[in-house]
Every structure is written in structure tokens, then in C-alpha cells.
Structure 1
Amino acid sequence: MAGVPEMFHDDWKDFFEASYDGIIIADELGRIVYMNRAAERLEEVDKEYILGRRAADLLEEGIYEASVTVKVFRSNQKETIMQFKGGRQLVITGVPVFKGRKIKWVYINERDVTELVQVKRDKMAVMKQLEKYKKELERMKKRNGEENVLISNSHKMQENIDLLQRIAPSEVSVLIIGESGVGKDVFANWIHEHSLRKDKPFIKIDCGALSESLLESELFGYEKGAFTGASQKGKVGLAEAADQGTLFLDEIGEMPLNLQTKLLRLVQDNTFLPVGGVEEKKVNIRIIAATNKELEDMVEKKLFREDLYYRLNVVPVKLPPLRERKEDIFDFIQLFLKRYNDKHGYRKTISQEAVNGLYRYSWPGNVRELSNIMERLVVVTPKSEIDLADVVQAIPNYGESGIKTIFEQSDSYLCAMDAFENEYLKTRMSGCRTIKEMSESLGLSESTLKRKLRKHNLRFTSRVKNDFGGQS
């Protein structure tokens, strides 16, 4: 069988002419001695005008803007250049073929990458758009979750929600007042998300979580070398980071008096002086503040600046505690049950008795406590259905809180005792499987227990486990 060179000796030009890529060959003097049809097409020239001419001359005459052949002869190695011809983008590679130490031939390959580059650009554009959609979807999910929290059957809360919808698009300062856990940060973020600054930063700082010196440097930033241990590059403060957006000052009642003067300037003029700085900085921010304290009392006691209070308190929003909006508890239970089922991959349900038990609790920690308890119930409860016994176990002070609520709501001694007996029987009933078991645990006869259950319209449901692990 003949060797490969012998086989293809007469056909190499046919192979080159069949190539989709442009192929050019230059000799040892840099003269173009071969150009296939694809190269003519890509360079938009007549090869008869090119053949026999030196690449350096074509470059000098301006026929070529750049010449890979010239570069190869200069470097004695493989070279690649990028060129634009007739609206097409070409990648041109020149490979030297040596005879001894001298270049004998230069093999040049021209590839049209216009479509490939466009596909890459389109892909990048699509990825960028997908990232934009992803962020928007995350924002929508977050917004939907927060708007669910804002849905309320309470008249007091509905008034607040109506107020928020009116003030959100404005630039007015807002002071959110309420106990810890009522959702002040959720409402602050809701205002930002429904304002004209929604696409700009929302920056939160907890004024009660930092020492005075650290709070000042975090809020206003500092210049390099401002104090011992300071970064030599300085630091941008949160007020500057919030430029064009919203600055949320949580627990504003905890801010030291010394810093209140500096904050007043920021609120009034949108200007501040970084720690160790000599030049003021100006920002464009909207300020929302929140507190669980009575700022008016603090003003009277000289613990809070009066002028700062009035600057912050342009529109006050007072959020009632959960115990004063109990009609919302049922919706919150369903909201958090779904949220934590989705988060942890469960499909837990909750019994009506457990819902009633959660409703009767006084919720000193407000919505935050309810959210935490619901997550605990979803994760810890071994059964598929959360019942009253799980609720009592999940809330350590459930009984104490329940008793306190009964005493507060009862008008007379007899009513209080009657309500207490009702709650007591419900709690003990959830931990027993039979009437007999419950009567023995309480030290009552079965007839007495049955009479008391009938009095409170409580029906005992037997939950004895059968041989298959179910309940009968």
C-alpha cells in the first residue's frame, strides 16, 4: 500500500479548495503563493491580485490592516490575529514550516467566527437576562411573603396598611413604633420595596447592637488612620452605602445622645462627617426609624433629643402587639406552616385543637415568636399532624401564659375558675389516651370527669394505637 504522501500527491489542492476555512500559503520570502476559494471569499479579493506579492508590501499598501505572515517572520513562531473584513470577524493563524533554522513556508488558516461570537454574545445576553429574571423572581417571592405578613383582619392593622400604601411612594421620614417581634423590619422593607427607591440599596443598622464608637464608625465610616486599629484604606459607612436608597435605623431609642447630634445633621441636611474626616459628605437617602421604646418619655427625661424626635416622627406607624390582633393568628399559622414545610421538605398538618391552643397563648414575643414556634413544631413534631400536646411541649411557658391570659380576661372569680378548669382539662386530655387513664391521672372518678367534660363541651377522642402503628 502506498504511503499517505504518495496517495494524496495529486489531490492536495482539491482538499484545500474543499475547505470551509480560508487557506493561504506564503513562501520563504513572504510571497503569497497559494490562496483557496474560501480565502478569496473571506477577504473579498481576487487572488490573482494577491498571488506572487509579498505580504509586507500588501500591508504597506493598506490592502491588509495586519499581516499574520509578517508577524510569523518577525517572531519565528506561530502567530494568531483577529481581523474584521466586510462585517465578518476572522481569526487568522500563521504556522511556520522550517527547513533547518529558516522558514521555508508559512501555512495560514482563516476562520470565520462571526456566528460563533454572536452566539456567545447572545448566550451572555440571555444569561444576563436570566439573572435579571432570577433576581426579580426572588424579589417577588420576598415581596409576596412580606405582603402575606401584611394581610390582616385586624382593624388596627388595616389602618396601618392603608397608611403604608399612601406614604410608601413619598420621601417622608417614617417612625415605626411597636414591641419587639411585631415585624418592624418587615414593614420598613415593605415601604422601601413600594417606594421610588426600590431598585436602590436598603441598608439596615441596629442601633442597640453596637457600642457607641463602633456604631459611629459603622454608620458614618472613617478616614484612613482615624484611630488605632483602623484600616489604612478607611471605610465607607452605611449612610454612604445607602446613597440613593433607604437607611433603616432599627431600635433608634438605643442610640447614644452624643451620636444623636450627628444623626440630626444627616436627617436634616443629608450630610455627615466620617470619623477622622475634615470634609463633609452628602448623600441622598430616605430614613426610616423603628423603636420599641416610648420616645416621648425619653425626650422628657432628656434621654433623646427633641429636635431629632420630631425630624424622625413625621409619620408615626404604631404596630399593635399580636395579642391585640388575635384574629390574625389563624392566617399566620397557615402562612408559617407552609413556609417551613417548604423550607424543610415536610408536609405537616395541624389539628384544630393545636390551632386553638396557639390562639389561646398570649404571644409575648409577637409574630417573631409565632414564626419560631411554628418552625420548631414543623421540624420537631414526629407525627405528620401537629396536635395540642406538641404545642404545649414546644412552648415552655405555655401554661403560665395561658393562666395569665385567663385571669386578665375574666370578669369574676367564678368565671376565672371556670375558664381555668376548661384550659386545664384540654391540656391534660391531650396527654391521655382513654377516659380511665385521664381520670386516674387527675384523681377523679370517671363519672366526675365525664360530667366536667360535658360541662365544658369537651369530647374525649380515644387514640389508642393499634397493632399496625395507627390509631383507633
Structure 2
Amino acid sequence: FLDEIGELPLELQAKLLNVLQDREIKRVGGTKSLPIDVRIISATNLDLQSRVKDRMFREDLYYRLNVIPIHINPLRQRAQDILPLIKYFLHVFNERYNTTKCLSSGVLSCLLHYDWPGNARELRNTIERLVVTSTEDIIILQDLPESISKKQPYRPAFSSDQSSTPLPLGPLRKMVDEFEKEIIMNTLKNHGNLVDTAQELQIDISTLTRKNKKYGLTGYVRTNGKIDST
């Protein structure tokens, strides 16, 4: 696995291209070429096509690597993935550090509403930091880095007097549905229409319409200047 392939220096790009073409390597200090049978998976957050145009990335290497491209949207565009990742990383680091830490509902709300510019890597590091640095078993708002606690693009899903309530245990699918419903409901309340709500949540309007019916939120669409929440 070659991470951050877009930042590979040009001289190393040439060597990698030779390896991919010839399927041979030469050990450091060696004189004989050795055949290899490998599959390469590479990743980057850069626009490689732009790098090719700017002569920062070899075009022949780009096409050699670009056999089966997989585009993964930023985490801020995959809100449904945040909660499962939080639970996974929390489990991993509780196991690693032999702890039983859990998140208060206030902390969980902040994590769900943060835009995660560093994507899953930033989320992973944040959960590890919270597990290591928190002094109590329940991680509270005061344990959060200021960069997260003070940056809330959405209205919190929980009020502040619930901030010490631990993250409830239960079926993951049910928990994801509950938080997804609350996020959609709050955004609908702010906009009152499906078009603006879909744009803010960065999902297709057909997807929003389906989820709107699934969660029974059709009453939150504004009609005649008023929102009917009955």
C-alpha cells in the first residue's frame, strides 16, 4: 500500500514505474534483479490529473496506477459513517489502553456535527486523544479540543444539561437512524424546504425525500410560510 502517492518525488516515480513495468526489483547493494509478483494499492488526497498537467506527477505512472480508481468522498459528506467510526475507534483504543471510556451525549453531538477536515485520520487521532487524556470513564465536553468544541456548523442534537449522559448502548443501526433523523429534522427546521436541506446535507434530493418519509418528517416542510410539525 502506497499512501500519499501524489507527493512522491519525480526521481522515485521513475523507479516505481520501472518496477511496475518490469516486475523486478534490485536489493540495496545487490547486483541481480529479482522478479516480484505484487499488487499495488495507492492513495492520495491530491488531484493527480492536475499534478500531471503541472508536471509534478508522471503521466505514464498515473495511467499505470489508475487501473481501478475508487473515489471516497470527504467524511463531512458521509455523515452516516461518523457514528460507526466513532464506535469502532473507541472500541480499538479502549482495548489498546485497557480502559472502559465512553462518550457523553454532548461530546457525541460535537463529534457528529464537526466537519472533520482531516477525515477519518483526524477522527481516529481525536478518539485516541480523548481515551488517553480524559481522567474519568465518561468523556465530557471539557475533554474535547477547542478546535472541535467551538466549531459547530449544526445545532447540537443534545442540550447542554445532558452533556454528562454516556453514549447509550444498543443496536448500531438503530442509533445511526436516530442521529440521522435528528440531523435531517434540525436542518429541515432551519430551511423549511427539501432543496436547501439536501444542498446543506450534500445528498441527492431523492435520497432526502426517501429518508423524509422513512422518519416521518414530511410535516417539517414549510407550507405558506409556516412549518407544520404535527
TM-score range for the pair, normalised by the shorter chain length? 0.5 to 0.7
Partner of 2:147: 397
Pick from 47, 64, 69 the counterpart of residue 316 of structure 1. 69
Pick from 361, 367, 380 the counterpart of residue 133 of structure 2. 380
How far apart, CA to CA, are the structure 2 residues paired with 1:364 and 1:283?
38
Secondary structure at 1:250 match in 2: coil
Partner of 2:19: 266
Partner of 1:301: 54
Of Structure 1 and Structure 2, the greater helix share is in: 2
CA shift, 1:429, in A, is: 9.0
- Is 1:353 the counterpart of 2:106? The answer is yes
Q: TM-score, normalised by structure 2?
A: 0.61
The aligned amino acid for 1:349 is C
CA shift, 1:280, in A, is: 3.6
The aligned amino acid for 2:134 is T
Residues 118-165 of structure 1 deviation map (CA, whole Å, 9 limit, x = unaligned): xxxxxxxxxxxxxxxxxxxxxxxxxxxxxxxxxxxxxxxxxxxxxxxx
Secondary structure at 1:281 match in 2: strand
Whose Rg is larger? Answer: 1
Q: TM-score, normalised by structure 1?
A: 0.31
Of Structure 1 and Structure 2, the greater strand share is in: 1
How far apart, CA to CA, are the structure 2 residues paired with 1:308 and 1:281?
21
Query: Could you say if the C-alpha distance between residues 429 and 340 of structure 1 is closer, same or farther in structure 2, counting changes exceeding 3 Å?
Result: closer
The aligned amino acid for 2:137 is S
CA shift, 1:312, in A, is: 0.4
Query: Could you say if the C-alpha distance between residues 305 and 315 of structure 1 is closer, same or farther in structure 2, counting changes exceeding 3 Å?
Result: same
CA shift, 1:347, in A, is: 2.1
Secondary structure at 1:342 match in 2: helix
CA shift, 1:309, in A, is: 0.5
Query: Could you say if the C-alpha distance between residues 262 and 373 of structure 1 is closer, same or farther in structure 2, counting changes exceeding 3 Å?
Result: closer
CA RMSD after TM alignment: 2.9
Note the 1:322-471 alignment, pairs <5 A.
322-387=75-140, 389-390=141-142, 393-402=143-152, 405-406=153-154
How far apart, CA to CA, are the structure 1 residues paired with 2:160 and 2:134?
17
The aligned amino acid for 1:287 is I
Note the 1:65-80 alignment, pairs <5 A.
none
Residues 14-63 of structure 1 deviation map (CA, whole Å, 9 limit, x = unaligned): xxxxxxxxxxxxxxxxxxxxxxxxxxxxxxxxxxxxxxxxxxxxxxxxxx
Query: Could you say if the C-alpha distance between residues 385 and 308 of structure 1 is closer, same or farther in structure 2, counting changes exceeding 3 Å?
Result: same
CA shift, 1:273, in A, is: 4.8
Secondary structure at 2:99 match in 1: coil
User: Which structure has more RCO (C-alpha within 8 Å, separation ≥ 6)?
Assistant: 2
Q: Kindly, what percent of the aligned residue pairs are identical?
A: 41
C-alpha contact 1:350 1:385 (8 A) present in aligned 2: yes
Number of corresponding residues: 164
Secondary structure at 2:40 match in 1: strand
Note the 1:154-173 alignment, pairs <5 A.
none
